[in-house]
A and B are shown apart, each in its own frame.
Chain A
Amino acid sequence: MFSRSPVQRRRAVLAVLLAVSLVLLTVYFSEPVGGGLHAIQRGAGDALSPLETGASRAFKPFGDLVGWVGDVTDAKKENKQLKSEVKNLRGQLAQLATDKHEAEQLRALTQVSANLPANAKTVTARVIAHSPTVWYQTIQIDKGRSDGVRVNQPVITAGGLAGRVIATTNGNARVALITDASSAVSAEIMPKGVSGIIKPEIGGKDLILDFIPKNSHVRRGEIVVTSGFRSGELQSLFPRGIPIGQVGSVNQDQLEVYQRVRVRAYADLRNMDFVQVVTSNGSQQVTAGAPRP
């Protein structure tokens, strides 16, 4: 035995160890649970149990420390993940709020367009730019000549009348709001049917309904709509019955022939996202021409 070379001895040891392992495996799997090897295993487990308990207790602080580090790492990772999720959700929330706002505006716009003549045609457009000055109350919309938009066509928005088209390109158009200094709209007070001209109050928020006869009894809260008058060749740009606003106050100056009525516009002209251009008021195509009240 001792004369064996180191190589043989090494190989013999390996072979023996592997063989023992294989025998153990074979016996372990072939014997029942109550067999000898299983019993030895249970006994060894019992014997090692105190050692394991001691080691576990001794190792616990270190394990807790590593666990704490791991927990902190996990918490950081989770925090990062949650932040990303919150960011996404905020984006979704903003998108939903925008969608809701736009849906409300479109719904209100539909209600206004219901006041138009039965076979009137409209083009819905998105407001893409607002004039930044108080002197030129204009907006730019994303529909133009190619969509049938022409100069002087009336524009409505959620709440009521917004203005008229003053310039077009192929893909967009500029709209002068009813608060623009150049604007003048023939209107009448409902239900009395008193007519006048709506003009903007420069620098103010309200509109002025002028040329109302003094003997007309105008009351606060009465509704002002477009009159859509027609007199021979002369015809208003705006179809009849589009809501403009409601009477806020009445100014009766003794020296004036007419009374001036302050009107609060229904349309929120500073926060419009969508408008509708009335391309046909039902009777005839609204086409370019000289600005008329």
Chain B
Amino acid sequence: MTPTPATFARLAALVLFGVVLQVAGVATIHIFGTQPDLVPLIVGAVGLLGGSMYAAVVGFSCGLLIDLALGQPLGASSLVLTAVGYAVGRYQEVRDPAHGLLPIPIGAAATAGYVVGFAALSFMLEVRGPVSASVIREMIITILLNALLALLIFPLIRRFMRASLVGDPRRRPANAPTGPLGLRGLEI
């Protein structure tokens, strides 16, 4: 991603829209007894598109906004999502994967990292009561749902951020090659 004000504005809009949509909309949908989670998918998608630094910042921002919106302990979600974003971003930087179905494993891995990390942090911080075994079932279903949802969310985010991407083969050149009338297309 090119670090321009437009890029940051898009990322900010993405974070705000994603978190509000998650908190106010998607969280009300129950599929197989649990709900999908857009936030780790957003962080994972930004990690694939922009690398570790952008993903870490987006993860931190999403986490902070979620904690603010939901009244959770400030810093808990942001800590986990920062780590998740950084990990996905590093994976992209080191391996540079390019496969059509990549959103599925990345979405699943980002979601797994988030739900497991957040659960572990919650245990460490304040959960004291008995925990039902169905928590694990819900976590697994969320991961599977998100893996499927990633096929939809990742292309949408890529499309939304396309203007900020560097060297995106799908990106249309800003200026079409021109030349004297009659010689266009001959690369003179």
**A contact set with B: CB distance below 8 Å:** 9-10, 13-14, 17-18, 20-29, 37, 40-41, 44-45, 48, 51-56, 58-59, 62-63, 66-67, 70
Contact = CB atoms under 8 A, between A and B. Distances in A.
B23 interface: yes
B67 A41 contact: yes
B5 interface: no
B166 to A, nearest CB: 14
Interface in B53-98: 53, 56-57, 59-60, 63-65, 67-69, 71, 73-76, 78-79, 82-83, 86
Contact of B20 (A13, A18, A51, A70): A51
B68 A48 contact: yes
Interface stretch (B24-32, B133-141, B153-161): B24-32
B28 A17 contact: no
A67 B29 contact: yes
A53 B56 CA distance: 28
Contact of A63 (B16, B29, B69, B75): B29
Interface size class of B (residues with CB under 8 A): 35 or more
Contacts of A62: 25
Contacts of A9: 53
A20 B75 contact: yes
A59 B68 contact: no
Interface of B: 16, 20-21, 23-26, 28-31, 52-53, 56-57, 59-60, 63-65, 67-69, 71, 73-76, 78-79, 82-83, 86, 125-126
A84 to B, nearest CB: 20
A56 B68 contact: no
Residue of A10, A14, A26, A56 with most chain B CB atoms under a 10 A cut-off: A14
A52 B30 CA distance: 18
A13 B125 contact: no
Contact of A20 (B24, B52, B60, B69): B60
A29 B63 CA distance: 17
Residue of A27, A37, A41, A54 with most chain B CB atoms under a 10 A cut-off: A41
Contacts of B126: 29
B159 to A, nearest CB: 20
A258 B31 CA distance: 87
B24 A56 contact: yes
A14 B56 contact: yes
Given A9-B53, A18-B82, A51-B24, 4 more contacts: A10-B52, A28-B75, A45-B68, A66-B31
A56 B76 contact: no
- 6 smallest beta-carbon distances between A and B, as pairs: A59-B25, A24-B75, A21-B79, A44-B68, A25-B75, A55-B24
Contact of B24 (A24, A29, A59): A59
